[in-house]
Chains A and B, each alone.
Chain A
Amino acid sequence: MRLGMVIDRKRCIGCYSCQISCKAAHALPPDVFFGRVLVSETGTYPTVTKQILPVLCNHCKEAACVKVCPTGATQKREDGIVYVNSEECVGCRYCIVACPYQMRTYNSDGNKEYWPGQGLTELERVGREILYPLEPNTVIKCNFCMEKLDEGLRKGLKIGIDREATPTCVNACPVKARTFGDLDDPNSNVSKLIKERKGYPLHSELGTEPSVYYLD
Chain B
Amino acid sequence: MQANMKPFEWMVKPTPQKEWIERRGILLWLAFFFIELGAGAFFVGTIFKSIEAMLVGWLVCGVIGGGIHILYLGHPFRFWRMVSRPGSSWISRGLIFVSLFLIFGLIQMIMVQAGGASPVVMVLADLFAFLTIVYGGFAMNFVNGIALWNTALLPIIYGVSGIWGGAGLALGIALASGEVSTLGPSLEEWIRLLLVAYAFLLAVYLVSVRYTNPTGRLSVQSIIFGRFKALMWLVVVLLGLALPMTIVVISFNTGIENMPAGALYLSIFCELLGDLTLRYLILKGGLYSPLIPSSAYSPSSAF
Chain A residues engaging chain B, CB cutoff 8 angstroms: 36, 38-44, 48, 51, 53, 55, 64, 66-73, 88-94, 96-102, 106, 108, 136-139, 202-203, 206-207
For the complex, what is the distance from the CA of A92 to the CA of B94, rounded to whole Å? 13
A137 touches B75 (CB 8 A): yes
Give the residue of B74, B294, B296 whose beta carbon is less than 8 angstroms from that of A90: B74
Chain B nearest CB: distance from A138 CB in Å? 6
A70 touches B92 (CB 8 A): yes
Chain B residues whose C-beta falls within 8 Å of the C-beta of A66 in the assembled complex = 88
B19 touches A44 (CB 8 A): no
For the complex, what is the distance from the CA of A173 to the CA of B24, rounded to whole Å? 37
For the complex, what is the distance from the CA of A99 to the CA of B83, rounded to whole Å? 21
Q: Taking each of A44, A48, A53, which has the highest tally of chain B beta carbons within 10 Å of its own beta carbon?
A: A53
Give the residue of A40, A55, A67 whose beta carbon is less than 8 angstroms from that of B293: A40
Chain A nearest CB: distance from B68 CB in Å? 13
Q: Is chain B's interface secondary structure helix, strand, loop, or mixed overall?
A: loop
Residue of B nearest to A88 (CB): B81
For the complex, what is the distance from the CA of A37 to the CA of B83, rounded to whole Å? 36
A42 touches B296 (CB 8 A): yes
Give the residue of A43, A44, A102 whose beta carbon is less than 8 angstroms from that of B11: A102
B139 at the interface (CB under 8 A from A): yes
Q: A70-B92, A88-B81, A89-B75 known; A53 and B291 CB under 8 Å?
A: yes
Chain B residues engaging chain A, CB cutoff 8 angstroms: 8, 10-13, 15, 17, 19-20, 24-25, 28, 72-75, 78-79, 81-85, 88-92, 95, 139, 142-146, 288-297
By Cβ-Cβ distance, the 4 closest A-B pairs, closest first, are A91-B74, A100-B145, A137-B74, A40-B294
A64 touches B144 (CB 8 A): yes
A64 touches B145 (CB 8 A): yes
Residue of A nearest to B286 (CB): A97
Q: A42-B294, A70-B81, A70-B85 known; A203 and B289 CB under 8 Å?
A: yes
Chain B nearest CB: distance from A188 CB in Å? 25
Chain B residues whose C-beta falls within 8 Å of the C-beta of A71 in the assembled complex = 78, 81-82, 84-85, 92
A70 touches B75 (CB 8 A): no
Chain A nearest CB: distance from B205 CB in Å? 19
B78 touches A41 (CB 8 A): no
For the complex, what is the distance from the CA of A91 to the CA of B77, rounded to whole Å? 11
For the complex, what is the distance from the CA of A94 to the CA of B69, rounded to whole Å? 12
Chain B residues whose C-beta falls within 8 Å of the C-beta of A55 in the assembled complex = 11, 291
Give the residue of B85, B145, B293 whose beta carbon is less than 8 angstroms from that of A51: B293
Other contacts beyond A38-B8, A68-B139, A137-B74: 17, CB < 8 A: A40-B290, A40-B294, A44-B296, A51-B294, A53-B292, A69-B89, A71-B82, A91-B74, A92-B72, A92-B91, A93-B28, A93-B74, A96-B19, A97-B17, A102-B11, A102-B15, A203-B289
